Amino acid sequence: MSKILKKGKSLVSTLFFLAISQAYSFAGPPFNTDDPEPVGFRHWEYYLASVNTLQRGFMTGTLPHAEINYGLIRNCQIHVLLPLNYNLINHSDFQYGYSTTEIGFKYRFYKNADESFQAGTFPIFEVPTIHSNNFSNKLQVYLPIWLQKSWNKLTTYGGAGYWFNRGESNKDWLFCGWEIQYDLTRAFTLGSELIYKTSSTTDGRSSTAFNFGGSVSFSDHVHLIFSAGHSISGEKGYMSYAGILVTI
């Protein structure tokens, strides 16, 4: 009986973490991998989106989450993400609610004259806001470095970061990702990424996955962004992102 309880407790802890990490690792919507380029000075980005992860026996994600980015000063943006999280577990109740607020700031510390090469960082903090028995209530911190290179319509970017992952049955973990995208037209961009993460729980495994997605611009200010992917190694699963981006 003690082994069953321990296994159940470990599963719940893993689910709690997934509901947070999978949603917020999409730091560069619609991908997990981000770039070093901040929002323009005194400009805004507004996202309304949903991110989902499906593995055998459960599904978790946001439904929806709102994200706001603002170019506070040159080469730096502030970032806030407000999620409504859910867990859908086989033979269990549907869990839904708000618990953690994501805040961060992206700082581009290098760009060349034509901005074809850029480098920056984007620290992110998952801050417990409303106590919930169904979702994580521990502070988590992400410290990455991002690089980007562009050639006209082709852009590639990526990097790596370290998650400080507090919580029962959790452990710190490393994320690495690289993305490449191409502007097929002025309004239509497609891209793909390859990502790798070490285990985030004491009984978990490292995993590798890919994503394919892009954006469709209905105007200079309104954009549809989307992605879908699958694991290659480690825990088998699917992931998706769909959202509307408004830029001002």
Q: What is the pLDDT of residues 205-244, one digit of tens each?
A: 899 999 999 999 999 999 999 999 999 998 889 999 999 9
Q: What is the pLDDT of residues 19-31, one digit of tens each?
A: 334 433 445 899 9
With tokens 């830029």, the residue in question is 247
pLDDT at 27: 56
In this prediction the pTM is 0.87
Three-state secondary-structure class, residue 83: strand
pLDDT at 159: 98
Residues above pLDDT 90, as percent of the chain? 75
Within 8 A by CB and 6+ apart from 122, the residues are: 27, 34, 36, 79, 104, 105, 106, 107, 144, 146
Burial of 7 (0-12, 13-18, 19+ CB in 10 A): exposed
Q: What is the pLDDT of residues 2-58, one digit of tens each?
A: 333 334 444 444 444 443 344 334 458 999 999 999 999 999 999 999 999 998 888
Element at 13 (helix H, strand E):
helix 2-24
Structural domain of 104: 2-247
Number of domains in the chain: 1
Sign, CA torsion 46/162/38/224 = negative
CATH number, domain at 28? 2.40.160.40
Q: What residue type is assigned to position 143 of the chain?
A: L
Q: What is the pLDDT of residues 126-153, one digit of tens each?
A: 999 988 777 777 899 999 999 999 999 9
Contact between residue 179 and residue 160 where contact means Cβ atoms under 8 Å apart: no
Element at 145 (helix H, strand E):
strand 140-151
